[in-house]
A and B are shown apart, each in its own frame.
Chain A
Amino acid sequence: GDSVTQMEGPVTLSEEAFLTINCTYTATGYPSLFWYVQYPGEGLQLLLKATKADDKGSNKGFEATYRKETTSFHLEKGSVQVSDSAVYFCALSDNTGGTSYGKLTFGQGTILTVHP
């Protein structure tokens, strides 16, 4: 079945540091890929997504590129802020049709803490 593996962390960085959170996936067909973020005390929010190979999703300074050859969707940000402290989830959605269409499969989540 489909699965997502992401760097578990926790990750602790100083403000303005470079961030990478690794995410790799296993899926049949050509899934859509997502990064969701959960800020303290808040619900899950979509951060960015990519629906086909070589697409780059971007939002709030975060970027991730859909790499079919390495089955990866690593999240990056050039300069993190304290306000980026949150839990980040990589996820995929099955696009092959059938009864599982649209369901999200999540990675375990990575806790990011950014210090001033």
Chain B
Amino acid sequence: GAGVSQSPSNKVTEKGKDVELRCDPISGHTALYWYRQSLGQGLEFLIYFQGNSAPDKSGLPSDRFSAERTGGSVSTLTIQRTQQEDSAVYLCASSFWVTTDTQYFGPGTRLTVL
């Protein structure tokens, strides 16, 4: 079946603009995770959802970052007033349940803030 998909694959924006990144998890997967991959910080956890709830938002770098999930499926990560340090690859993953289930990763969205 279809894997995790993310859109857009690439996004170039100007400093100060808002951006929205989208993730479509594997059908039937209840858990959804957002991670960020950058040169300086490696791979870091941002937030996860179980259903539509986000029990752990501890990884969000600042209050400019927010995420939501609707219908237990699609999730959107929003970055307001983007800064150059937000440039990174944003990865989404999903798993059947929030346990030690394998997380399946999407191809990522490469965000460049000029």
Contacts and interface: CB of A to CB of B under 8 A. Distances in A.
Interface string A33-61: 00010000011111001010000000000
Given A43-B91, A104-B45, A105-B45, A51 B100 contact: yes
Interface residues of A, number: 24
Interface in B81-114: 91, 93, 95, 98-108
Interface stretch (A10-18, A62-70, A95-103): A95-103
Contacts of A105: 45
Interface residues of B, number: 26
17 contacts: A42-B107, A43-B108, A44-B91, A46-B103, A93-B100, A100-B58, A101-B99, A102-B31, A102-B33, A102-B48, A102-B98, A103-B48, A103-B56, A104-B33, A105-B45, A106-B35, A106-B42
A109 B35 CA distance: 15
Interface of A: 32, 36, 42-46, 49, 51, 89, 91, 93, 95, 99-109
